[in-house]
Amino acid sequence: MLCLAQAGLASITVGSGGSISLGSGALDLGGGDLVVDGQFNLEAATVTEAGNVVINGSFDGGGGSMLLRGDWINNGLFNAQTSQISMIEASGGSNALVGDSIFYGLSLTSPVGGAFVLQSGSVQQIVNSLTILGASGQPVQIESSNPPQIAEMVLQAGGSQNIAFVGVSNVHATGEPLAPDETNQGGSGNDFGWFGSGLFELIPVPTLTIPGLLLMMLSMLVLARVGRSQAL
């Protein structure tokens, strides 16, 4: 078991076949990356100031919390349990979410108009709570990595949400409707399930000219008479 409370640590790599368990300690990575090729157990610990988190092995979230300022790359197994994962983009750039993940609690915040870019085709599920916050005049952007291909964000039934100052581009909310009382601020759209839009777009019906409308009514009358005569 590893319990650390040291600030400014360099990147940590859990090698293949290796294991680290944090217990109830506190770990400040000082911007360093966490690369998990073996087994990483967050347990009840608090990890702050991580850079990128790369999961190639197994990450067990336990009941702990992690704050990262880089990318979340899940190529392995992430077992959230009751953990809280918080991502902050504070440079005005972008952070990525790669691979499919099921989070218990997920927070995506940027006070400077940064973006969180979800891998196209990926599904990010949230069981308990979802927070997405930008700032007035600098909305955080939620985007797909390869538009117009979409990514999906799924808040499971009963989950809570706190979403404000957000723009969405090519990301569908396919669970609970997201930000139903908000508007898309700066996003390009293709935002099914967000902002009260529902999961289906209205399909426009072309208008008919008066002659066309009369022809349609005549056709309906003919069909009705044919049907009546056949019934007799």
Where do we find the tokens 């952070």? Answer: 95
Q: What is the pLDDT of residue 175?
A: 98
Query: 168 near 139, Cβ under 8 Å?
Result: no
Note the helical H segments in the chain.
210-231
Average pLDDT of the segment spanning 118-143: 99
Asked whether residue 220 is assigned to any structural domain, the reply reads no
Out of 1-15, 148-162, 211-225, pick the least confident. Answer: 1-15
Asked whether residue 3 is assigned to any structural domain, the reply reads no
Asked whether residue 215 is assigned to any structural domain, the reply reads no
As a whole number of angstroms, the distance between CA 80 and CA 63 comes to 8
Which residue did the predictor score with more confidence, 77 or 214? 77
Query: 139 near 113, Cβ under 8 Å?
Result: yes
Asked whether residue 213 is assigned to any structural domain, the reply reads no
Q: Which residues pair with 125 in a beta bridge?
A: 102, 154
Asked whether residue 148 is assigned to any structural domain, the reply reads yes
pTM: 0.82
pLDDT at 31 over 60: yes
- Quote the number of domains for the chain: 1
- Give me the percent of the chain exceeding a pLDDT of 70: 85
Asked whether residue 226 is assigned to any structural domain, the reply reads no
Average pLDDT of the segment spanning 35-59: 98
Asked whether residue 66 is assigned to any structural domain, the reply reads yes
Residue-range definition of the domain harbouring residue 100: 12-205
Asked whether residue 43 is assigned to any structural domain, the reply reads yes
Question: What confidence tens digit (pLDDT) does each residue in 175-225 have?
Answer: 999 999 999 999 999 999 999 976 444 444 456 677 766 777 777 776 666
